[in-house]
Structure 1
Amino acid sequence: MPTLPIIIVLSVIILFAAFFMVKQQTAAIIERFGKFHSIRQSGLHLKIPLVDKVAGRLSLKIQQLDVIIETKTLDDVFVKLKVSVQYKVINEKVYDAFYKLDYPADQITSYVFDVVRAEVPKMKLDDVFVKKDDIALAVKAELNDAMSDYGFDIIRTLVTDIDPDHQVKIAMNRINASEREKIAAQFEGDAQRILIVERAKAEAESKRLQGQGIADQRREIARGLEESVEVLNKVGINSQEASALIVVTQHYDTLQSLGQETNSNLILLPNSPQAGSQMLNDMVASFTASNQIGEAMKNQKPKEKE
């Protein structure tokens, strides 16, 4: 009788040992007496206790492996690259993934090192940044050829980081800053040149308008003088006397205008009462002399023709 409870307990243990569960996106490898028997997918499964055993489980999810490689570029710059490899076990090749390869991460890492150190030394540092997608594609192509035989599918490879030597980064930043300062100086020079040109154009336009204004002013003065001479000619005053009269009149108008300015320190010389008369006499004498010279030149021309 005491052996009955023991038999019952053993039976329960064996019964529970006969059942096992496989999680979603997981594959379980069953071995019988140490030899591969079957692959079980997700769900509740039954095995023969003490005969069958779960040799291992493989995740069917996409996994990511980050590999950091230090290598040298064509222009002798040491750089660290971080390559992220996304891979998964092929459902139809679970057997190969479990039995052919013990450490897939180490295998993938070795291939990544081999490809990166073969590709990057062919490029200059600037090209490494520009062609990082080409490096990633080369890594993926190599891994797909190598890992497909072991039951692994390479989903994607990404070059997620490129880290040059610290001194090189400082030099690159200095070059970039100098280049930007050069561009800023060029823009500033162009702005200054445009400002100078526009200022010169404005000044030239101002001078032109000022000259035009002075010309218009003189033209109007001349027209006014012409009209004044015509009016005086109508009352029997000849052109010389009219011109002298206009000059004397403007002289006294100027003196009157200066006298109205209380804060003016300007002194017009000569400004004596006889100045107007003297000026008139001088102008009449000048006009007379000029007329005599003109008449003499006219009389001289016919004699030269003879």
Structure 2
Amino acid sequence: MTLFTILALAAFFILKLFLIVVPMRESFVIERLGKFRTVFQPGLHLIVPFIDRVAYRHEIREQVFDIPPQHCITKDNIQVEIDGLVYLKVMDPQLASYGIGDYSLAAINMAQTTMRSEVGKLSLGEIFSERETLNETIVREIDRASESWGIKVYRYEVANISPSAHVVTTLEKQMVAERDRRADITLATAEKEAKINMSEGVRQEAINLSIGERQRRINIAEGRGREISLLAGAQATGIALVAEAINKPGGNTAIKMRLVDQFVEELGKILASSDISVLPGEMARVKGIFEGVDQVTKQFKS
């Protein structure tokens, strides 16, 4: 058993020297006598001991690197502190090993440089509203620069945007002032609309009153017109009847008698309401009566 164990251990040691297993998530860069030979993908591979060696091991899954916070100056001269995350993947292990010393550090530094440059082109408000555009620009610039590094940058995400305390205080005051301004505008608009509605109500009331007054006057005028027309018609009828009665026998005498009666009646009213009289009232009445009787007598005689 001891000899078997020794032989098994020796065989395992020999296999260990000649065979290498690459995990599924990695790829190995193999050098022979210090010179690049090949890249081993995940699986079992054979190497020459003491001649071939694993020079680099690369993670072939997508990796995420944290971008440390840094101070940037915006287009409107406001200092902000921005950090983020960059997502990349090793596409060519050979270039990732020999094209750049440390592709992760290079990607982080490139992201910081590009971020400072792009933030300087935007105002503070645009940074918050156009974050997606900023992310896409940084990804495009890093991906263009990393073509010779054997990596592929998939996306960049701005994590936090933190203005300075003074800027935050200023922005808060600005927001309060903006809210107050909007409230004043709303109140002024409401008051304006209320006054407009009131004036419209007064105007409509005046119009309705004027229309009613006009209609009332029209109705009164029409009533008066009808009254005058009826009176005129009645007077015309009465005059026609009087004229017809005059033409009849004894009509003229009857008319004179009627006139005398009216004269006596009106004279009595005048004497009753007047304060000054030229002639005694009884004498005027007697004289009028006798004159009227005399005229009537003459008419009958004729």
Query: TM-score band, normalised by the shorter chain?
Result: 0.5 to 0.7
In the TM superposition, residue 141 of structure 1 has moved relative to its aligned partner by 4.8
Cα distance change of structure 1 residues 61 and 215 upon mapping to structure 2, 3 Å threshold: same
Partner of 2:78: 77
In the TM superposition, residue 126 of structure 1 has moved relative to its aligned partner by 3.3
Q: What amino acid is aligned across from residue 27 of structure 2 in structure 1?
A: A
In the TM superposition, residue 223 of structure 1 has moved relative to its aligned partner by 4.4
Within 5 Å, which residues of 2 pair with 1:1-306? 5-16=5-16, 18-32=18-32, 35-49=35-49, 51-67=51-67, 68-91=69-92, 94-121=93-120, 123-129=122-128, 132=131, 135-136=134-135, 139-224=138-223, 227=226, 234=234
Maintained 8 Å contact 2:86/2:108: no
Q: Distance in 1 between matches of 2:222 and 2:85?
A: 93
Q: Distance in 1 between matches of 2:35 and 2:51?
A: 10
- Structure 1's unaligned 5+ residue stretches are 239-280, 282-306
In the TM superposition, residue 41 of structure 1 has moved relative to its aligned partner by 0.8
Cα distance change of structure 1 residues 230 and 32 upon mapping to structure 2, 3 Å threshold: closer
Q: Distance in 1 between matches of 2:84 and 2:24?
A: 29
What secondary structure is seen at the aligned counterpart in 1 of 2:146?
Answer: helix
Aligned length: 237
TM value normalised by structure 2 = 0.62
Q: Distance in 1 between matches of 2:84 and 2:63?
A: 14
- Structure 2's unaligned 5+ residue stretches are 239-272, 274-302
Q: Distance in 2 between matches of 1:16 and 1:53?
A: 13
Cα distance change of structure 1 residues 5 and 224 upon mapping to structure 2, 3 Å threshold: closer
In the TM superposition, residue 203 of structure 1 has moved relative to its aligned partner by 2.0
Maintained 8 Å contact 2:85/2:159: yes
| Structure number with bigger Rg | 2
In the TM superposition, residue 89 of structure 1 has moved relative to its aligned partner by 1.5
Q: Distance in 2 between matches of 1:188 and 1:230?
A: 62
Using the aligned pairs only, state the percent identity. 23
Cα distance change of structure 1 residues 18 and 216 upon mapping to structure 2, 3 Å threshold: same
Q: Distance in 2 between matches of 1:144 and 1:113?
A: 14
In the TM superposition, residue 63 of structure 1 has moved relative to its aligned partner by 2.0
Q: Distance in 2 between matches of 1:164 and 1:211?
A: 66
Q: What amino acid is aligned across from residue 125 of structure 1 in structure 2?
A: L
In the TM superposition, residue 135 of structure 1 has moved relative to its aligned partner by 4.6
In the TM superposition, residue 108 of structure 1 has moved relative to its aligned partner by 1.8
Q: What amino acid is aligned across from residue 174 of structure 1 in structure 2?
A: K
In the TM superposition, residue 219 of structure 1 has moved relative to its aligned partner by 4.0
Q: Distance in 2 between matches of 1:223 and 1:142?
A: 93
Q: What amino acid is aligned across from residue 10 of structure 1 in structure 2?
A: A
CA RMSD of aligned residues (A): 3.6
Q: Distance in 1 between matches of 2:207 and 2:145?
A: 84
In the TM superposition, residue 103 of structure 1 has moved relative to its aligned partner by 2.9
Q: Distance in 2 between matches of 1:2 and 1:212?
A: 129
